[in-house]
Amino acid sequence: MKVNTIKYFTVFQIIFVLLNSNLIGQTTAAPTNYFSIRNRLKFGNDLFSQKDYLRAIDEYQAVLKKMRSDTLLFKIGYSYEQMKCFPKANSFYQKLLNSKSLSEIAKFEILKTNFLEGNYGKVKTLHISQDSSDNAYYPNEAKLFYSTYMLDQNELPDSSNYKLWFNEATQSEVMKFYRRKINPGYKSETLAAVLSTVVPGLGKIYVGETGDGITAFLFNSILGFLAYDNFRAHHKLRAWIFTGLTALFYGGNIYGSISAAQIYNAGIRFNFDKDFKVFLNNHNYFSPKYYFMNK
């Protein structure tokens, strides 16, 4: 009996020691540091991949306080660019101009952000100042450079430049836009005015507003007839009233035809710009693929 008691007591001691040592091990183990550089970088990359750019920027900037990383500077600039904060994006790309590995990419992105902002003159200046011999992204820049001429009011360069820099996948589309830009199909404001001077409403029919043109013709014709009819009937007061109305609406018909031509031409320019920007967006503004951002 005594031997059994000792045996049970010994087993109890062993279990107690094992449990106690396990508890001590748990309490003394170092807690997980969720705010370590490694964890914040991993979390930032997850946010970046999910396109949660604003929160990704916060994580990357926290990491940059502890270490230097050109990749993170680029990813912050890229994040701002995706959020259309182009000046802020530009400021981060500027920090990479002396980077050994990312300077050329940074130059392209600076040019692209200026393009996206509509600073086409700046894009031209930046591109012309680039040296094509040692810039791997010069062809990408050239595409944006020649694209500026599609969107501003300057004369288009020779079509051979577009055939040179755009590859087969995009060349046919670009040349369609080139032809649309050269021959936009504008309506002459002068011709619209002359036509409506000869026949009221004809200028509006010329610019495609057939219904308004017919209405203008009928309205001016009726007023003119009423003026004539009252003069013939010796109703001078009414005759002069209708004459004044006829002159007023006749002049308005001419001015309206000019305005209609202006609106028509503005619509052509708007649709061209919209279509060309959709084309650029579909091709990601000719940006290269940045595989290093997936790391």
> In the chain, where are the structural domains located?
68-183, 189-279
Contact between residue 70 and residue 99 where contact means Cβ atoms under 8 Å apart: yes
Give the CATH architecture of domain 68-183.
Alpha Horseshoe (1.25)
- pLDDT at res. 20: 52
Q: Please name the residues in contact with 152: beta carbons below 8 A apart, sequence gap of 6 or more.
A: 120
* 88 has a pLDDT exceeding 80: yes
User: Would you say residue 223 has pLDDT above 80?
Assistant: yes
Q: Give the mean pLDDT of 184-211.
A: 94
Rounded distance, CA 171 to CA 167, Å?
6
Q: What is the pLDDT of residues 7-53, one digit of tens each?
A: 444 444 444 444 454 444 444 444 566 678 889 999 999 999 999 99
Nearest to 290 by CA among 184, 136, 61: 136
Distance CA 60, CA 293 (A): 13
| Predicted structure pTM score | 0.79
Report pLDDT for 162: 93
Q: How many CA atoms are closer than 13 Å to the CA of 59, on its beta-carbon side?
A: 22
Q: Distance between CA 21 and CA 24 in Å, rounded? A: 5
Residues 6+ apart with CB under 8 A from 133: none
